[in-house]
Homo-oligomer: A and B are copies of this chain.
């Protein structure tokens, strides 16, 4: 039987999960592909021993032992980060090896250089595990939806942020408290910035936009707002209006320009994305032919992510066996057809909005606020004004019709400057899904 030899750099959570998948599924993989995938070597600087299904002679502290091994066809990079990982990947490509990685930060920041190097050497880069853990959505975009113009991408792409929002929604607990609890349970990192401020989600959106539209996207193109300012009171008002608050990545394809944004969003409660809770992810694509497709599953975790890494390894193994390298282009479009596109400036965005004003309880405040909104052409769809809170402040909550972000920014800046405004106004965009 044909053997495909693999080397694995980085034996952390996903690395050990990947090794376990390849071990436990070995017979199944043979029955499906007609080939054996052999994990020949594992490189890691900080582990002392390997699980019993691997021999200690397979362990090295030097990644070069894998990269320079002429016997190894595919190098799996699972150390993360954007410096050493990049060096190892470029070195592996230079040696003519195919690469599988889960490194979304690296691909979204240095993808252009890496994919150019891979094209130059005619090797493949597999990165299914970089977005959505075990959910096979990269393959879906590149192959399953190949005969579609993707009109929009919307998704809950970060399990930590979704877990925190779900806890806040189900139990009415404040962000800080849920975060601390999540950190204690190991669901959130000690430094949660990437997850809760939407940066991790933005990394993933860069990758999905690149594949879906055949365009060059830079991380800096993505407008990114996190969930740390969301309060239980907003979640409660959202519910009264019939919404759930979710941290969404949203990209709409307008042809000559594309939206690219990550921010907390009010999702209508009947929408599939509103019903994705806890650590689960959901990726919602609208194609001009297929209409709406949602993929849902665990967006992280040792074994689910290992499942995606293994699927990539098997995909490349099949191409090696059939001498069909780059049968599907790594970035979904042929290299020469990937081009930059204009990113819609946020000011040009049009959306309905939710506002929560914190005001002094004086007569005429609502009238002043409504007047300013009217001046900027922002029409109010409904208002909730609740009883006085402590310290004489009252929340005034509004849902608007579609308005331009530029006008909203000007209006809110003016309203925030009023003597009667006691705290910065909370602004949450409301999802309109034309695709449904």
Contacts and interface: CB of A to CB of B under 8 A. Distances in A.
Interface stretch (A54-62, A217-225, A316-324, A425-433): A316-324
Interface string A233-276: 00000000000000000000000000000000000001010011
B144 A136 contact: yes
Nearest to A18: B147
Of the candidates A28, A214, A332, the one having the most CB atoms from chain B within 10 angstroms of its own CB is A28
A32 B293 contact: no
Contact of A134 (B293, B295, B303, B321): B293
A277 B271 CA distance: 10
Contacts of A24: 288-289
A174 interface: no
Contacts of A308: 144, 290
A149 B322 contact: no
A418 interface: no
Tallying the copies of this chain within the complex gives 2
Nearest to A136: B144
Interface string A137-158: 0011001111111000000000
A322 B139 CA distance: 19
Contacts of A311: 143-147
Nearest to A314: B146
A50 interface: no
B301 A291 contact: yes
A287 interface: yes
Contact of A31 (B144, B303, B324, B334): B334
A291 B132 CA distance: 13
A297 B291 contact: yes
Contacts of A81: none
A337 interface: yes
* Secondary structure type dominating chain A contacts: mixed
Interface in A322-337: 322-324, 327-329, 332-334, 337
Contacts of A296: 272, 292-296
Given A148-B307, A287-B307, A296-B293, A327 B329 contact: no
A393 B188 CA distance: 56
Interface string A25-64: 1001101111000000000000000000000000000000
Contacts of A332: 32
A135 B293 contact: yes
Given A143-B315, A149-B25, A303 B291 contact: yes
Contact of A32 (B21, B146, B277, B298): B146
A270 to B, nearest CB: 8
A409 B303 CA distance: 40
Contact of A323 (B128, B293, B314, B322): B322
A115 to B, nearest CB: 15
A140 B143 contact: no
A21 B290 CA distance: 10
A332 B310 CA distance: 16
A306 interface: yes
A322 B28 CA distance: 26
16 contacts: A22-B147, A28-B147, A28-B149, A31-B337, A32-B214, A134-B293, A135-B293, A143-B314, A147-B314, A289-B310, A290-B303, A291-B301, A291-B304, A293-B297, A319-B324, A323-B324
Given A139-B143, A147-B314, A291-B297, 15 more contacts: A24-B289, A29-B146, A32-B146, A32-B214, A32-B337, A134-B289, A143-B315, A146-B314, A147-B307, A287-B307, A289-B304, A289-B307, A318-B328, A322-B322, A322-B327
